[in-house]
Amino acid sequence: MVVNGWFRLAWLAVVGLALAACMNNEPEERAAFIAWLQPQAMPEHTGPLRVPDDAQRDAFGTYARHYEVLADYDQVARRAVDVLKAALEHDELHTLAQLLERGPALATDRQALARARDDLQQALGHANAEVAELRQPDEVLRVYAPVYQRIVIDQGARLDVWLATAAAATDDALRVVEYVDRHGDQIAVTADAAAVRDPSVLHELNRLLDILNGHATTIGQARAGLWALAPD
């Protein structure tokens, strides 16, 4: 019985040593995570979240979860960027014929923009809940906070505005498409022009086109901002 008791105590001691050794890796893990974060915390860094290689991520240890909060949100943001790029490309219109031709693509964009905006809002709520549970030493918090602000808060706010801008323009473009479809017997569309028989139909069509053209400035701003955020 004495031998068994000694063996049990010795085994517990070994476990304790193993746990202590594991805990002693924290300073190295913290240093590795800070080294990866630090360049992205600089004010001049405005690009997307850098993706660590396998060796870097392994070195994060317990801080891998802190990275995943950023990465999970950024992944949703990248999908929103792709949706926006497609929608803004389709919103670049020069003729009524081109607008009518893009009707199906614009209808798809409308759904994709709404879904992307919802996904971003859900991802923001999830990221805020996750980051609230993280326990970070002050030296980690000093570099993590500005990266979180840029990747999650600031990027999300800009994307939300641009998604709303693109959605509004897309809605108004589709109103023109639907109006022309309803009055097809009154409107003849060629490659470069349109002829309208009924003056009241012409008046309403011009009104809808004026509303659509009113988005030109905000769409241009969204396109420029998106290019700066995601130049590729």
Q: Please give the structure tokens belonging to residue 18.
A: 């193993």
End-to-end CA distance of the chain: 71
Q: pLDDT tens digits, residue range 179-213?
A: 999 998 999 998 888 899 999 999 999 999 999 99
The C-alpha R_g of the chain, in whole angstroms, comes to 27
The pLDDT score that the predictor gives to residue 23 is 55
Global pTM reads: 0.84
Alpha-carbon distance 110 to 206, whole Å?
Answer: 23
Q: In this structure, are residues 40 and 48 in contact, taking their beta carbons and an 8 Å threshold? A: no
pLDDT of residue 48: 79
Residue 232: the pLDDT is 66
Instruction: Tell the residue number behind the tokens 């202590």, with chain if given.
Output: 20
Write down the pLDDT at residue 47: 72
Q: How does pLDDT run across 49-68, given as a tens digit for each residue?
A: 899 999 999 999 999 999 99
Token reading at 160: 């939300």
Q: Which residue has 């009707």 as its token pair?
A: 103
Specify whether the CB–CB gap between 159 and 80 falls below 8 A: yes
For residue 24, the model assigns a pLDDT of: 66
Number of domains in the chain: 1
Domain assignment present for residue 2? The answer is no
Q: Do the domain assignments include residue 12? A: no
Decide: 155 and 75 in contact? Cβ < 8 Å: no
Report whether 107 contacts 174 (CB < 8 A): yes
Query: What domain range includes position 222?
Result: 25-229
Rounded Cα gap, residues 107 and 129, in angstroms: 34
Q: Quick check: is 68 in a domain? A: yes
Tally the C-alpha atoms within 13 A of residue 173's C-alpha that lie toward its C-beta: 32
DSSP assignment of 10-67 equals HHHHHHHHHHHHHHTTHHHHHHHHHHHHGGGGSTT--SPPPPP-HHHHHHHGGGHHHH
Distances (CA, A) of 73 to 69, 124, 126, 127, 152: 7, 7, 8, 7, 7
Tell me the C-alpha distance between 86 and 20, whole Å.
53
Which residue ranges of the chain lie beneath pLDDT 70? 1-24, 231-232
pLDDT of residue 160: 97
Cβ atoms within 10 Å, residue 14: 10
Residue 178 counted as domain residue: yes
Dihedral of CA atoms 107, 111, 112, 114 in degrees, nearest 10, equals 130
Q: Is residue 15 included in any domain, yes or no? A: no
